[in-house]
Every structure is written in structure tokens, then in C-alpha cells.
């Protein structure tokens, strides 16, 4: 189980302000990139598509959506124990990743303002939405007498440098996987209202449309740059990023089954549904997608998750370092082997099937 659940008390930075979780490979990242290289990208052949998605973003359909209803105005101490901690962790991870998007988009909008005003306008709308999402989640945390110090996070988190191509691939995928995560949970709770233990989930339907529009904006960026889809290197990178995002999703979801149990979702099935839908959607932007129907696809990802749980147990144990090392090596080798075999499995040619999926 996740470390925070062992203590049953969240770690505090100061009274009422939660200490951010320790950064690991699986915690939401903060990104920076080569802003100048993005400013130099040529979008001239795709200006009409770009204008169309920016017009959609400009419409700001959700400008009145993120207003807390009266339903929030009550004491939430009835959500307690492991369920409370698992939910707080869900809020924190979601808030951190929304806020990470806000910072990146805000910076892109600021840096491109004079060099590419159209793109800057689009990124400005994206940052507007992510700020709302992060703020709404942080307000939800305050119902549990906690909040995240977003100013502290801005200054103290490690920023990972990604070249523009990697940013475009990963943000496209994280927006689309975000869409599917929110909508699948919303639809499940709509048909099982007895599990809707907090009103936040009711907001997910319109909320996920923001993520969908963000993804569409990035889809235009992918399709506007031939080098991002029209060559063998792009095909290899796309497979790599699809696998990274899906493996990270599997590890984080299966490790946090307590939270999914609390809303009546089977973590394993939820992971499969989110990945399959995201993979299908990615066929609209990427030249290849992964073969999630391969009998070994989810079996291998789930094996990686089992290895990850064992690795966490070893890391948290009091055994001598050398013993830990000997216990960890076979698990790491097994994970690398499984990922490599998924990576090398024949992908599905999305260019050939694009007519069918669009």
C-alpha cells in the first residue's frame, strides 16, 4: 500500500498546508522546454485548423462551471480512515498535475506572445482552464482542512527539461488520458450514485471536455509538423511515449486501488478501459498506436505493477542496503524485460486506419 496510508496522517508543511509528496518517477512532473524552438515552428500549412481549435477554446464553455454548489457546504469528517487519505492523495495528485499544466502553458503563452501570437493565445486559454481545475481541486482539499501551497510547489519542484517534440507527444497523451480518466469515472458514478461520496465527481463531465479540447489543440500541433509523425524515428518515439504513459498509469492506478474501491470501481478494469480508449483516440494524431488487444499487453503491464509494489516494500524495509540491492535487481530486470517486449510487439498502423477512427 502507498506509504502515506501507513501513517493515517498527512505530512504537513505548516498548519493546514500539506507537504507535497516525495518526488518519484510516478509523481506528476513539472516541465520546461526550449521555448525558442517552439517559437520557430512553422504552422503556416495548418493555420485554419489551429484557428478553429483556438476559437473553441476562446468560447470558454466552462466559464461558469467551476463554482462550488451548496452541496460542498458541510462537514466531511464522515469520510475517514484510509478512504480519507486515499481521497486526499487523489486530490493532491490531480491538483499537482493540473497545476503543472498551468505553469507550462502560462510560460509558453508568455514566451510566444510576440513571436507567435496565435499559438500564445491558445496556450493562454489552456493555462486559464488548468488554473481553474487546480484551484477547484485545492478548494476541495480545504474541505479536509488541507491545501497545497502552489507558490511553494512552483519554486521547489524539480523542472524536467523536455525538447518540444517530447512535450507535444506527452502533453497530447496526458490531456487525452485525462479526458478518459474523468469521463469513465463520471459515467460510472452516474450509474452508481450510491458511491458518489463527495460532490466533486459531478463536475467531471464538463471538466473533461476542457481536457479533450486541450488534447485537440495538441493534436493540431502534432499533425502540423511532419517530423512528428511522418518518419520511422517518429514512429519509434510515439511507441515509446504511449508505453511510458500507459505503464505509469498502470503502476499508479493499481498501487492506489483503495481509492478506486472507495468509488466502487475495479482498479484493474478501470486501468484497462482508460488505456484502451486513450490508445484508440491517439490513432487520430499518431502514426502508430500500441496493440492493447495482444494477449500479453495488460498481463505484462500488471506484472510491472506487481514488481513495483514489491520494490516499494523493499525500499521501505529496514534491511541492509546490500540485501535490498540483491532483492531489487531481479525485479527491475523483470520490469525492463516486460516493457521491452511490449515495446517490440508489432504496433497498429494508425495512418492506414485513420479514415475509420475519425
Stretch that binds Fe ion, among 43-51, 153-161, 206-214, 342-350 (CB under 5 A): 206-214
Count CA atoms within 13 Å of residue 254 on its CB side. Answer: 22
Residue 276 near residue 297 (C-beta atoms within 8 A): no
Bridge partners, 30 (sequence order):
159
Nearer to Fe ion, 64 or 321 (CB): 64
Instruction: Decide: is 98 part of the binding site for Fe ion (CB under 5 A).
Output: yes
Nearest approach in angstroms of CB 62 to Fe ion is 10
Q: How far is the CB of 80 from Fe ion (least distance, A)?
A: 28
Per-residue contact track with Fe ion, 157 to 196, x per CB under 5 A? ------------------x---------------------
Residue 133 touching Fe ion (CB under 5 A): yes
Task: Return the number of the residue (134 or 265) whose C-beta is nearest Fe ion.
Answer: 134
Q: CB neighbours (10 Å) of residue 201?
A: 19
Q: Which residue's CB is nearer to Fe ion, number 182 or number 260?
A: 182
For the bound state, the minimum distance from the C-beta of residue 308 to Fe ion, rounded and expressed in Å, comes to: 26
Cβ distance to Fe ion smaller for residue 214 or 235? 214
Contact of 128 with 108, CB cutoff 8 Å: no
Q: Cβ of residue 71: shortest distance to Fe ion, in angstroms? A: 21
Residue of 211, 249, 271, 287 interacting with Fe ion (CB under 5 A)? 211
Residue 18 as a binder of Fe ion (CB under 5 A): the answer is no
Q: Does 219 bind Fe ion (CB under 5 A)?
A: no
Residue 117 CB coordination number (10 Å): 12
Write the DSSP string, 115-154: T-HHHHHHHHHHHHHHHHHHHHHHHHHHTTT-EE-HHHHH
Q: Classify each residue of 323-334 as buried b or exposed e, where b means 16 or more C-beta atoms within 10 Å of its C-beta.
A: eeeebeeebeeb
Least separation, in Å, of the C-beta of 292 and Fe ion? 23
Instruction: Evaluate whether 145 touches 78 at the Cβ level (below 8 Å).
Output: no
**Whole-angstrom distance, CA of residue 187 vs CA of residue 264:** 12
Measured from the CB atom, is 92 or 175 closer to Fe ion?
Answer: 175
177 C-beta neighbours (distance < 10 Å), count: 23
- Nearest residue to 282 via CA among 139, 136, 179: 179
Q: Is 132 in the site for Fe ion (CB under 5 A)?
A: no
Q: Which of residues 214, 219, 235, 239 is near Fe ion by CB under 5 A? A: 214
Closest to Fe ion by CB, 214 or 249 = 214
Total residues at interface with Fe ion (CB under 5 A): 6
* Residues in contact with Fe ion by the rule CB under 5 A: 98, 130, 133, 175, 211, 214
Amino acid at each position: 500500500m502507498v506509504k502515506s496510508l501507513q501513517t493515517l496522517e498527512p505530512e504537513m508543511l505548516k498548519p493546514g498546508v500539506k507537504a507535497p509528496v516525495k518526488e518519484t518517477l510516478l509523481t506528476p512532473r513539472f516541465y520546461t522546454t526550449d521555448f525558442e524552438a517552439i517559437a520557430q515552428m512553422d504552422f503556416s500549412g495548418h493555420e485554419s485548423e489551429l484557428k478553429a481549435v483556438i476559437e473553441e477554446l476562446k468560447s470558454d464553455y466552462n466559464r461558469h462551471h467551476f463554482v462550488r454548489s451548496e452541496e460542498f457546504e458541510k462537514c466531511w469528517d464522515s469520510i475517514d480512515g484510509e478512504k480519507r487519505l486515499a481521497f486526499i492523495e487523489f486530490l493532491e495528485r490531480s491538483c499537482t498535475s493540473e497545476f503543472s499544466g498551468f505553469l507550462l502553458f502560462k510560460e509558453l503563452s508568455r514566451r510566444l506572445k510576440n513571436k507567435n501570437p496565435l499559438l500564445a493565445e491558445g496556450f493562454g486559454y489552456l493555462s486559464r482552464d488548468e488554473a481553474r481545475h487546480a484551484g477547484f481541486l485545492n478548494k476541495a482539499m480545504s474541505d479536509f482542512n488541507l491545501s497545497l501551497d502552489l507558490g511553494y510547489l512552483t519554486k521547489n519542484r524539480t523542472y524536467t527539461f523536455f525538447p518540444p517534440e517530447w512535450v507535444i507527444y506527452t502533453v497530447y497523451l496526458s490531456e487525452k488520458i485525462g479526458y478518459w480518466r474523468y469521463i469513465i469515472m463520471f459515467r460510472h458514478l452516474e450509474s452508481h450514485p450510491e458511491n458518489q461520496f463527495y460532490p466533486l465527481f459531478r463536475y467531471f463531465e464538463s471538466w473533461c471536455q476542457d481536457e479533450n479540447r486541450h488534447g485537440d489543440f495538441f493534436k493540431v500541433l502534432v499533425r502540423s509538423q511532419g517530423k512528428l509523425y511522418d518518419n520511422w524515428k517518429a514512429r519509434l518515439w510515439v511507441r515509446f511515449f504511449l508505453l511510458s504513459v500507459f505503464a505509469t498509469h498502470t503502476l499508479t492506478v493499481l498501487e492506489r486501488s483503495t481509492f478506486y474501491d472507495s468509488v466502487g470501481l475495479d482498479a484493474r478494469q478501470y486501468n484497462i478501459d482508460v488505456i484502451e480508449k486513450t490508445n484508440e483516440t491517439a490513432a487520430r494524431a499518431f502514426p502508430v498506436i500500441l496493440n492493447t488487444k495482444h494477449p500479453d499487453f495488460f498481463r505484462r503491464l500488471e506484472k510491472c505493477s506487481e514488481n513495483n509494489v514489491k520494490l516499494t516494500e523493499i525500499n521501505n524495509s529496514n534491511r541492509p542496503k546490500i540485501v535490498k540491492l540483491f532483492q531489487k535487481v531481479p525485479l527491475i530486470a523483470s520490469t525492463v524485460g516486460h516493457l521491452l517486449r511490449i515495446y517490440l510487439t508489432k504496433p497498429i498502423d494508425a495512418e492506414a486506419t485513420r479514415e475509420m477512427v475519425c
